[in-house]
Amino acid sequence: MSSTYARFDTVFLLSRFAGAKYSPLWPSSSSSSHSSLLSSGIHLRAKPNSRLRSVTGASSSSSGPIIAGSESIEIKSLPTKPIEGQKTGTSGLRKKVKVFMQDNYLANWIQTIDDDESPNLSDRYINFQFNYSSGQPAPESITDKIYGNTLSISEIKVAEIPDIDLSHVGVTKYGNFSVEVIDPISDYLELMEDVFDFDLIRGLLSRSDFGFMFDAMHAVTGAYAKPIFVDNLEAKPDSISNGVPLEDFGHGHPDPNLTYAKDLVDVMYRDDGPDFGAASDAMLKKMVRLMTMKTL
C-alpha cells in the first residue's frame, strides 16, 4: 500500500487533507468509485505533534484504546473542474504556495493520489510526494495515470469530522471510520534499534576522545534527535544543534550542504571541533556528514 502524511481539519476523500496515509482511490467522473472510503472501515493513524499530524491507512480493526465514538460520517460530493499545471513528477508535485492556494488546487490533486506533505514557508514551496509500495518514488506509469486523472476530474468527496485531540495517543472512532494517534518517535526508535547496533554506537559516543554533533536545522528531525542520541545513545545534550522544530526553520533553509549547514561547518572547523558531524534536511531524505582526520 502506498503511503502519505497529512494534517486534516476537514476530511476530503483523497482531497483536502493537509495530509494523510491510506489506501489510494483513483478518481473518475462517476461518484461510485469514491463512495466507500469512510463507510467501509478505513482506519487512519495520526502523530500527536501538532505540526506532524499525519494519518496512516490500515484496516478498520485496531488494538489501541478507544477514546471516543460517534455516528458514521456523511460523505458529500462537491463539483470541480480540471486545473492546469498538475503534472506529477516521480517524487510528487512541487509548486509555489500561492499556486496551491488556488481554489480546489490541492483538493483536486489529492483526490487522485495519496500524498506526503512537507511543511514550508508561504514564500517557498509545498512538496507533495507519492512513494510506491517499495518506498521508492512512483514510476512514470503511475504518475502519468495521476496526471491523466487531473485532466478529467469532475468532483471531490468531502466529509466533515469533529476536532480530534492529537496530543493523546489512542483511537477515536466515528462508526466504521477511526483515527489512531501514535507516538512516531517511539515507533522509529524501535525500528532503528533493530537496524543498528545501539550498544556499539553508545560505546563510541561515550568515549572521552570522540566528539559528535548533529544539526537538525530546526526541521522535524529535531524532535527525534534528543530521544535517540541523548536519551538512548547517551550523547552529550549539547551535541544536538538547532534541535527545536520550527515552522520557518529558524529563518534557515534545511538543505544540508556546506552553505546552508554553515553552523555545523563552523563547529567542525574549530580546533576543538567534534570528530563527526551530521545535518539532515526537513524530512531526513538528505544528509551531509563531516569528519575530522583524527585517530581514535
Look-up: residue for cell 486523472?
149
Look-up: residue for cell 476523500?
13
Four-CA torsion 103, 129, 224, 56, nearest 10 degrees: 80
Q: What is the pLDDT of residue 251?
A: 86
Q: Pick the more confident residue, 186 or 66.
A: 186
6-182 CATH: 3.40.120
Distance (Å, whole) CA 52 – CA 66 = 21
Q: Pick the more confident residue, 214 or 10.
A: 214
Q: Chain-wide mean pLDDT for the chain?
A: 70
5-19 average pLDDT score: 33
Q: What is the pLDDT of residues 160-183, one digit of tens each?
A: 777 888 888 888 887 777 788 888
Q: What is the pLDDT of residues 220-254, one digit of tens each?
A: 889 999 999 999 999 999 999 999 998 888 888 88
Q: Structure pTM? A: 0.57
Q: Per the structure block, which three cell numbers stand in for 117?
A: 506533505
Q: What is the pLDDT of residues 99-147, one digit of tens each?
A: 888 888 888 887 776 433 333 334 444 556 666 666 677 778 878 888 8
204 pLDDT more than 90: yes
Distance (Å, whole) CA 146 – CA 110 = 10
Most confident of 66-75, 94-103, 233-242, 287-296: 233-242
Q: Quick check: 179 and 46 in contact, CB under 8 A?
A: yes
Q: What is the pLDDT of residue 93?
A: 77
| pLDDT class of 256 with cuts at 50, 70, 90 | confident
Angle CA 58–115–22, to nearest 5:
10
What residues does CATH 3.40.120.10 cover in the chain? 186-291
CATH architecture of 186-291: 3-Layer(aba) Sandwich (3.40)
Percent of the chain with pLDDT over 70: 63
Amino acid at 233: L
Distance (Å, whole) CA 5 – CA 54 = 5
